[in-house]
Amino acid sequence: MSVLLVFIQKVITQGVSILFGSTGEILTEKSGNLNLGIPGLMYMGGIAGLLGAFFYERFVAVPVPLVGMVISVACALSCAALGALVYSFLTISMRANQNVVGLVLTTFGIGFGNFFGGSISKMSGGVGQVSVAATAGAFQKQIPFLRDIPVVGKLLFSYGFLTYLAIALAFLVGFVIARTRVGLNLRAVGESPATADAAGISVSRYKYAATIIGGSIAGLGGLYFVMEYLGGTWTNNGFGDRGWLAIAVVIFALWDSRKAIPGAFLFGALYILYLYIPGLTRGTQELFKMLQYLVTIAVLVVTSMRDKREDQPPESLGLPFFREER
């Protein structure tokens, strides 16, 4: 029972950063933009939050954890939003290829994170030794009293606030998209921007807003990984392929952020499953790591066979909009 409890806890901690990324990408893709820069935005959010906390604690004699946390979140959101803004300008206003710009953004984001992460690690005495203990402690603070409940407390209430924020944002984004006028307009832009434009909806405004807000949410996934999961430390290339898994969860969840919640935790389980199966060889471990992508392919096959419109991606996904050709 204790092993199962530990496994479930690890699954939840693995899935949170993936959930942030998938929620942000779902919001982005609903506008018709395909942002393959999500992994890079997660790196940018993570390193920006770490930098904010690092310099705050370095130059303040008695740092206040809550203030450091607020600064860290603000830096992460701002940096990820800036990256998403650049992507939006190039793909919406300049009509550059979305796939190319997204991949460049990912490459830049990873390099940006590794460069500054390595730099401040050296300033702190070595790689992985960034001293932001006070701020990281605020991120990792658990719900008092409830965490002490036997079994249930450890299972549900032993996480920092970003874990619960990830779930809340997934529900909120799903509700806005499915149940509000703003969501209706956003879906119209993603399905047929020409029709939306003819109806008086500002296509560019919705695309910009969805992409920037979605990128900011993805940046919180990087912040969670660095500050809550790793406790305020940095390791170059430490994110692994979590950013790409977040994009895979978008397909698994059928472009519904509410369905991304179980999807992210399932992918989190598949991501670490090989660690809990004894006797696996190195080659067999790599096969287990492929399970997330095999599941995604299976979902694609099944949904294409069902041919239900609500289970399909936005019709204009990845396509530029030329207003003068409407």
Inform me whether the pLDDT recorded for 324 exceeds 70.
Answer: no
pLDDT (tens digit, 9 = 90+) per residue, 275-304?
Answer: 888 888 888 888 887 887 888 788 777 777
If pLDDT is split at 50, 70 and 90, which confidence band does 15 have? Answer: very high
Alpha-carbon torsion (78, 81, 83, 89), positive or negative: negative
pTM equals 0.95
CA 263 to chain centre: 13
CA 196 to chain centre: 28
Q: CA 53, CA 139: separation in Å to the nearest integer?
A: 11
CATH topology for 2-325 is ABC transporter involved in vitamin B12 uptake, BtuC (1.10.3470)
pLDDT (tens digit, 9 = 90+) per residue, 227-272?
Answer: 999 999 888 888 888 999 999 999 999 999 999 999 999 999 988 9
Q: CA 277, CA 266: separation in Å to the nearest integer?
A: 17
Residue 326 has what pLDDT? Answer: 55
Q: CA 61, CA 59: separation in Å to the nearest integer?
A: 6
Residue 325 has what pLDDT? Answer: 61
Residue 323 has what pLDDT? Answer: 72
pLDDT (tens digit, 9 = 90+) per residue, 26-72?
Answer: 999 999 999 999 999 999 999 999 999 999 998 888 889 999 999 99
Contacts of 119 (CB under 8 A, 6+ apart): none
Mean pLDDT of 79-106: 96
Q: Kindly list the domain boundaries of the chain, sorted by start residue.
A: 2-325
